[in-house]
Amino acid sequence: MAPDVVSFIEGELRKRGVEPSVCRAVSAAARAEFGGSSTYIRSIDREARDAKAAELVKLGASAKLVAREVGVHPATIRRKRSGWL
């Protein structure tokens, strides 16, 4: 059986010193909100990826280089570049 995502996250929070009562409350809220549904969890953190790309663009890196570095198509960088500058 696949590991339970909510239990995994609760365990990770506990490892990092979060109070057990807070961990249980977060788990309960997640189960109430998403229990029984097929919720998609992105494998990447888009905000972190975009922040890294924006920093590289501001440093003057080419769209091709930035795209290769963060794992997207160069057209994505060109499309978003104006919002980062």
User: CA 81, CA 67: separation in Å to the nearest integer?
Assistant: 11
User: CA 45, CA 27: separation in Å to the nearest integer?
Assistant: 21
| pLDDT confidence of residue 33 | 87
Residue 51 and residue 75 in contact, taking contact as beta carbons nearer than 8 Å:
no
Which has the higher per-residue pLDDT, 40 or 15?
Answer: 15
Q: What's this model's pTM, rounded to 2 decimal places?
A: 0.59
Query: At 1, is the pLDDT very low, low, confident or very high (cuts 50, 70, 90)?
Result: low
| pLDDT confidence of residue 3 | 65
CA dihedral 64, 65, 71, 75 (to 10 degrees): -20
Residues 23-66: tens digit of each pLDDT: 999 989 988 888 888 877 777 888 999 999 999 999 999 999 99
User: CA 28, CA 46: separation in Å to the nearest integer?
Assistant: 26
User: CA 80, CA 67: separation in Å to the nearest integer?
Assistant: 11
